């Protein structure tokens, strides 16, 4: 189930937000601590006014700033609020652990209100080392639900959160429903897969699309893109490894394909830093060492891991070995196999538009995507020159494909028929609006191909169009390589029209910044 917070600053705004939040949510969290300028008594009056008008079950929250709330609240104010709020007919109440002892004289452990209480602990710095012991020490046995919201700093933290969610040590109260919330990039796994493994609900962004805590997704994304309500313990998990991943359309494409094919799969982008790559592969993906409870169907790999991942795989396909970079992980028995669908993905739309055999083509960049493009161009008979910001670092690429490596500043379009940009310069969230080469140096080119797809019309493509040069953006490549990945993971083909439609919906949707 999805719980959507409403953090409105006035009682009228709170009331107006109810139907908006209810559109995609199963529960609503009334963040009454967002009513900044009201006294405790005025906040209670607002609660009494809202409750008869609630369109969904509600959980009431009144959190102090030091525990992630929106306002400063004294301990006495919080107790005064809760002594009264707990008498209302709200379906649930979110209480911080430091209040429990003071409430027990009025609400003893056998009081029925505790069945409706969510006792929560928030740590915005770290995850407890021993979560089972921490929970037993901090959460009362008579609570109906316990929520642990913690900063996830490493893959091991995610593993321990799921171990706590799914494990039942003998000392754990049988009445507890649990809500593990991993805050941060790696914590997305708890937000999407938590309910499938027994979490009472997961939290979305606020009703206005703004994140109330780090790592939240919108309720619409959870329900429509990730199909949260259909996920269960038999769901096969695929995903994307990269840093960053927020810009990626891959989740929209792959999840739409799974829905079209009727497969119980989900695709989850996970922001994995270079330092976390090896432990994530070990703890979350590799079949011999995986600690997380689900079956892994495969992963996509993007910047900056396409080359760095090579030492951690059991073997490579012939294409991946030739390219020297991986964008696809296949799971076969007890092995992880590195594959590369970027070659086919990049070349298919390019060759559908432009002739490359025997033509001089410039490639900007020398990373994993460049290696795939150069591999495809050389195989197609193009005369390739690679332009790199740091030529010395690209010598392996030059030697692998017997192509010259030239400083980026030496690029001039009049020497080439085509240009392929494989750098992230101009990508949303990464130098957006910048051009990887001065626009005046495009003169003489017949075509420009930019692998970036968000935005589709990069500064490079705009500059080329203004000079009458034909252009090709990166969306067709994304579609083609995704279709190849899907076929290799599932053994099923999906019409590319399904993927294009999903991409267009995502590109034209307005997603609030977190």
Catalytic positions: 306
Element (H, E) at 156: helix 155-166
| In 61-106, alpha helices (H) | 75-85, 100-103
- How many Cα atoms occupy the beta-carbon half-sphere of 502 within 13 Å? 27
Q: 474: annotated binding-site residue?
A: yes
Q: Would the annotation count 107 as a binding residue? A: no
**Distance between CA 355 and CA 1 in Å, rounded?**
52
Among the residues of 23-119, which ranges form H helices? 40-50, 75-85, 100-103
467 is in an annotated binding site: no
Q: Take residue 271 and report the two structure tokens written for it.
A: 């922001």
Q: Are 201 and 261 in contact (CB under 8 A)?
A: no
Task: Determine whether the annotation assigns residue 206 to a binding site.
Answer: no
Taking a C-beta distance cutoff of 8 angstroms, is the pair 43, 71 a contact?
Answer: no
The gap between the terminal CA atoms of the chain, to the nearest Å, is 21
453 annotated ligand binder:
yes
Residue 123 near residue 152 (C-beta atoms within 8 A)? no
Report whether 481 belongs to an annotated binding site: yes
Question: Binding residue per annotation — 262?
Answer: no
Q: Which residues pair with 384 in a beta bridge?
A: 361
Rg, C-alpha atoms of the chain: 26
275 is in an annotated binding site: no
Residue 256 and residue 502 in contact, taking contact as beta carbons nearer than 8 Å: yes
Taking CA atoms, 376 is separated from 339, 346, 386, 395, in Å, by 15, 8, 13, 18
Q: Is 434 annotated as a binding residue?
A: no
15 assigned ligand-binding residue: no
Number of Cβ within 10 Å of residue 428's Cβ equals 16
CA–CA separation, 77 and 64 (whole Å): 10
d(CA 63, CA 230): 32
The pair phi, psi for residue 149, each rounded to 5°, is -110, 110
Q: Is 482 labelled as part of a ligand binding site? A: no
Closest CA to 451 of 356, 368, 510, 394: 368
Q: Is 319 annotated as a binding residue?
A: no
Residue 368 marked in a binding site: yes
Annotated ligand binding at 204? The verdict is no
Closest CA to 449 of 348, 381, 368, 366: 348
In SS3 terms, 52-95 reads as HHCCCCEEEECCEHHHCCCECCCHHHHHHHHHHHCCCCCCEEEE
Residue 380 known to bind ligand? no
Binding residues: 248-250, 302, 327, 342, 365-369, 451, 453, 474, 481
Binding residues for shikimate: 248-250, 302, 327, 342, 453, 481
Binding residues for NADP(+): 365-369, 451, 474
């Amino acid at each position: 189930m999805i719980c959507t917070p409403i953090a409105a600053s006035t009682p009228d705004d709170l009331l107006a937000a109810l139907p908006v939040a209810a559109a995609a949510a199963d529960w609503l969290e009334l963040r009454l601590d967002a009513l900044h300028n009201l006294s405790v008594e005025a906040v209670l009056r607002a609660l009494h006014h809202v409750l008869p008008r609630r369109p969904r079950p509600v959980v009431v929250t009144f959190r102090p700033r030091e525990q992630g709330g929106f306002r400063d609240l004294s301990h006495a104010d919080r107790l005064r609020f809760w002594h009264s709020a707990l008498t209302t007919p709200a379906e649930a109440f979110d209480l911080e652990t430091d209040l429990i002892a003071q409430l027990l004289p009025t609400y003893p452990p056998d009081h029925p209100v505790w069945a409706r209480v969510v006792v929560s602990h928030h740590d915005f710095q770290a995850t407890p080392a021993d979560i089972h012991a921490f929970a037993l020490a901090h959460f009362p046995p008579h609570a109906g639900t316990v929520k642990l919201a913690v900063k996830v700093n490493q893959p091991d933290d995610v593993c321990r959160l799921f171990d706590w969610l799914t494990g039942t040590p003998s000392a754990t109260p049988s009445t507890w429903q649990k809500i593990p919330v991993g805050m941060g990039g790696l914590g997305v796994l708890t937000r999407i897969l938590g309910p499938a493994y027994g979490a009472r609900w997961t939290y979305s962004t606020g009703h206005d699309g703004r994140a109330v805590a780090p790592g939240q997704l919108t309720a619409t994304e959870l329900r429509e893109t990730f199909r949260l309500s259909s996920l269960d313990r038999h769901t096969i998990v695929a995903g994307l490894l990269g840093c960053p991943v927020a810009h990626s359309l891959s989740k929209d494409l792959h999840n739409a394909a799974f829905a079209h094919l009727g497969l119980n799969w989900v695709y989850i982008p996970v922001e994995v830093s270079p330092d976390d790559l090896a432990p994530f592969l070990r703890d979350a993906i590799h079949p011999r060492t995986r600690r997380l409870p689900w079956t892994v169907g495969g992963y996509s790999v993007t910047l900056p891991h396409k080359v760095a991942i090579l030492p951690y795989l059991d073997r490579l396909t012939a294409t991946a070995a030739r390219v020297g970079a991986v964008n696809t992980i296949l799971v076969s028995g007890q092995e992880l196999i590195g594959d590369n669908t970027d070659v086919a993905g990049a070349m298919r739309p390019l060759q559908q538009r432009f002739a490359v055999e025997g033509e001089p083509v410039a490639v900007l960049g020398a990373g994993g995507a460049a290696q795939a493009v150069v591999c495809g161009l050389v195989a197609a008979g193009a005369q390739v020159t690679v332009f790199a910001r740091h030529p010395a670092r690209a010598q392996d690429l030059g030697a692998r494909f017997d192509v010259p490596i030239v400083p980026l500043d030496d690029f001039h379009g009049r020497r080439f028929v085509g240009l392929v940009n494989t750098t992230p310069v101009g990508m949303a969230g990464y130098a957006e609006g910048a051009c990887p080469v001065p626009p005046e140096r495009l003169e003489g080119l017949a075509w420009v191909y930019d692998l970036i797809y968000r935005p589709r019309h990069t500064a490079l493509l705009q500059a080329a169009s203004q000079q009458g040069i034909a252009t090709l953006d990166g969306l067709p490549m994304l579609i083609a390589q995704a279709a190849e990945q899907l076929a290799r993971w599932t053994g099923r083909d999906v019409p590319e029209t399904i993927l294009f439609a999903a991409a267009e919906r995502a590109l034209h949707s307005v997603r609030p910044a977190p």
